[in-house]
């Protein structure tokens, strides 16, 4: 069961990053679009799990750009904090531009 959770965590963290990148690309008239796109790939903290033993840990002060990296025999995941900030900002920008 823990192996499945580790695999799900390793596969899930890129989803909000890609959503943030797409929202950034589709938001018209946005200033500093490239910086927002880079920020969408910033993660904070790193979860890791050794596949062979199920041993796991968390590094709270890890700052990851483009994810936590890859190592054979390990599942790794990060908290996509930058993506969450970008999604929140893009929704605020889009809400402010809608007539209402």
Q: Which residues pair with 65 in a beta bridge?
A: 42
Q: Which residues pair with 49 in a beta bridge?
A: 56, 75
Q: Report the pLDDT value the prediction gives residue 98, as an integer from 0 to 100.
A: 56
Average pLDDT over residues 72-97: 88
For residue 66, what are the domain limits? 2-97
Average pLDDT over residues 1-24: 86
Predicted TM-score (pTM) of this structure: 0.81
6 versus 35: the higher-pLDDT residue is: 35
Taking the C-alpha atoms of residue 13 and residue 78, their distance in angstroms, rounded to an integer, is 6
When divided into structural domains, the chain yields a total of 1
Average pLDDT over residues 83-100: 81
């Amino acid at each position: 069961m823990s192996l499945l959770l580790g695999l799900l965590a390793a596969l899930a963290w890129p989803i909000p990053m890609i959503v943030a990148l797409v929202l950034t690309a589709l938001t018209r008239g946005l200033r500093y679009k490239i910086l927002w796109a880079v920020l969408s790939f910033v993660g904070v903290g790193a979860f890791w799990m050794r596949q062979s033993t199920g041993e796991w840990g968390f590094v709270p002060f890890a700052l990851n750009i483009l994810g936590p990296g890859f190592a054979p025999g390990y599942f790794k995941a990060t908290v996509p904090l930058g993506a969450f900030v970008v999604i929140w900002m893009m929704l605020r920008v889009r809400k402010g531009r809608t007539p209402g």
